[in-house]
Amino acid sequence: MNKQKGLLQESITLFVIFSLLSIGFTPLIPAKEETQEYTLMVPNIFGIKKQQISLTSEQSGKLDSIFDDLQEQLQDADSVQETKLLYKRAIDTFVDSGLLSKSDAFLTKKLLFSDIVDKFYSVLDKRLCLDSDIENRNCYISGESTYSIFFRPILWRIWPIKNGLFRLLFSNFFFSHYVYFADISFGLESIIDQETSITWSSGWVWTNNTFGNKSVDGQFRGSLSKIALLPFHLDCLHCFLGVYFFIGIGYHSRSGSTNISFIGRSYKVDIIEK
C-alpha cells in the first residue's frame, strides 16, 4: 500500500515537473501588431519621392499627436520665424519617432528654409496671370484633412502646351524626375444622373506668410480650380484644388476617406469653409 502511495506521489511529482518544463520552454509568439498603410511624400534630389510605409498603431497615434500639437502651437506663432522654428521641431520629431529618415528631413529643411523656393515662386508670379490678392501666396502651410489628394502639378499653367500627348509625356517626365511640387485638393464633386453632390473635407489647414496667419477648422473645400479625378473615364468626378505647388512632407493614409497630413510651403492657397 505504501509502495503504491509512493509511486502515485512520484508520478504526480514527475507530471508537475514536466508540466513546468513544457511551460518554461514554450516559445513566446507575440501577437501580430496591427499596422496601417501610408504613402509618404517627400522631396528628393530627383523630384518628389513617394514610398509606401507601414505604421504601427503606436506610430499612427504619434503622427496624429505631432500634428495636433503643431496645430495648437501655431495659433501663437506671430511671425514667419516662429513658424520656421515650429516646423523644424516637428520635422525632428518625425525623425525621432521613426516616421521620417534623417536624409529626407535634411533635404526637406534645406528646401523649405532657403531662398530656393522663394525664387521659384517669383518665377511663377511673372508667368501666371493671377489676381492681385497676395495674402494667400508664398505661404507656410500645414494641416490634416479627409477626402484630400496630392496631384502632380499642372505644368502647362506656366508653359502653355497644346498637344495632349506631349502634355501627358511632359507632365509624367517632369513630375517623376525634376518637379519638387504637388497640388492638393480638398473635397469632391460627383455628378450622377445630372445631379451634383459635393463631399466636403473635414479637418484643419493653417497658413502663414508675411501678411499673418489664416486658418480653417471644420468642413471646407478647395476653390482654386477643379480637376477630373478620372480623366480617361466619364467626366463625373472632380476634385477641388485648394493648393498650388506645395513642397514639403505629406502622409497620405490609404483609408477609405483619403486622409492626408502635410507640412511645408505652397505658392497659392484658396479654401472655402462650409
* pLDDT tens profile 115-142: 888 888 888 777 766 655 666 888 999 9
In the DSSP assignment, the letter for residue 234 is -
Is 60 exceeded by the pLDDT of residue 174? no
What are the extents of the domains in the chain?
35-184+204-223+243-273
CA 182 to chain centre: 12
Does residue 30 carry a pLDDT above 90? no
**CA 178 → CA 21, 54, 145, 152, 262, distances in Å?**
63, 27, 27, 12, 21
What CA–CA distance (Å, rounded) separates 24 from 206? 55
Residue 274 scores a pLDDT above 50:
yes
Q: Is the dihedral of CA 241, 247, 250, 254 positive or negative?
A: positive
> In this model, does residue 89 exceed pLDDT 90?
yes
- At residue 144, the 3 state secondary structure works out as strand
Q: Quick one: pLDDT band at residue 93, thresholds 50, 70, 90? A: very high
The predicted pLDDT at position 71 comes to: 95
Q: Half-sphere exposure of 15 toward its Cβ, with a 13 Å CA cutoff?
A: 6
Report the pLDDT averaged over residues 28-39. Answer: 67
